[in-house]
Structure 1
Amino acid sequence: MTARVLVAGIGNVFLADDGFGVEVVRRLAGVELPAWAKVADYGVRGLHLAYDLAAADYELTVLVDATARGDEAGTVHVIELDTGRTEQTPCLDAHGMQPDVVLNLLAWLGEAPRRVVLVGCEPEVLDHRMGLSPSVERAVGTAAGAVVDLVTNHGR
């Protein structure tokens, strides 16, 4: 069966809470989702994600990442992202994974995903170390639940 939904965990596990998205998709590996949903750990491979999105026609892409919005650490946000074209030339970083850069690269390639939602968590620590801070670790289950809701309610 062709995947209709992509859940992409993104982030750098060597920068503490930046590994949030990777941890959420690891947790989702133990959750039964519809066969048409694909869950993948992209880590810092933004270029890989951009090409996968360009090659597929996902109805929904859920990006899971740490996102600093000025709220209390561990706050989970569900944000609909704008997938419209931009005139900005993407700045590529082979080890970076910013969702806006991936979407700009797609637009630059002449592609536009249908719907993109970011499930993000406010980070507490972005130092060079492995492991999530306690507040972000507690948010992993909340974010995983939000992803499950987005996937199972897709198309309803």
Structure 2
Amino acid sequence: MSGDAHGRVLVAGIGNIFLGDDAFGVEVVRRIDPAALPARADVADYGIRGVHLAYELLDRRHDTLIMVDAMPLDGPPGTLAVLEAEPGGGTGPPCLDGHGMHPQAVLHLLHTLGGDVERVLIVGCRPAAVTERMGLSEPVAAAVDEAVRLVTELVHEVLSDRGAEYASA
């Protein structure tokens, strides 16, 4: 990976706070305690600004991206999963919607713009309702603290692995 990433992680909360459970990613990153993360981790609420996230990644400061988002998953609402995105960001023209982009669209736009990120993890939560309203449903709200713990653990694991890679290089 070119640039000056050297084992940096970006945790990006994604979602629309006006669409109920779609705000899951935003709420998770709001609750993450930056003091609980290593200095090489950055946490940001990107909300519906997927285009901004893609442009942010063009500077190649981060070699790992952890996106937190509501997404269709098996299981009841509030179910959490960690997925690893395929490199390259998909095919076809990128979806350029300035008011919201799903994770694959962000990655495809990044790739289209000539950018790349070495590893992409997605911490997803199955929503109960993505409708025009403020606030998370009960099962999704109940999953937020576990998602915060999971993201914090992932950041530590990723940076621990990266440290071992650099030490052996």
**Scaled by the length of structure 2, what TM-score is found?**
0.87
Gaps of 5+ in 1: none
Q: Which amino acid aligns with 1:112?
A: D
Q: Mapping of 1:64-103 within 5 angstroms?
A: 64-84=68-88, 86-103=90-107
Q: Which amino acid aligns with 2:102?
A: Q
1:28 aligns with 2:40: no
SS in 2 for 1:74: coil
Deviation at 1:83, TM superposition (A): 2.0
Gaps of 5+ in 2: 162-169
Q: Which amino acid aligns with 1:151?
A: V
Structure 1 ranges of 4+ moved more than 6 A: none
1:108 aligns with 2:104: no
What is the CA–CA distance in structure 2 between the aligned matches of 1:27 and 1:101, rounded to whole Å?
25
C-alpha change, 1:31 and 1:16, in structure 2 (3 Å) is farther
**Scaled by the length of structure 1, what TM-score is found?**
0.93
Rg larger for: 2
1:45 aligns with 2:56: no
- Higher percent of residues as helix: 2
What is the CA–CA distance in structure 1 between the aligned matches of 2:12 and 2:48, rounded to whole Å?
11
C-alpha change, 1:30 and 1:61, in structure 2 (3 Å) is closer
Instruction: Name the residue aligned to 1:13.
Output: 17
What is the CA–CA distance in structure 2 between the aligned matches of 1:31 and 1:19, rounded to whole Å?
23
1:151 aligns with 2:151: no
* Number of equivalent positions: 156
2:29, 2:44 within 8 Å by CA — same for their partners in 1? yes
The two structures, once aligned, show a CA RMSD in angstroms of 1.7
2:11, 2:67 within 8 Å by CA — same for their partners in 1? yes
The percent of aligned pairs where both chains have the same amino acid is 50
SS in 1 for 2:36: coil
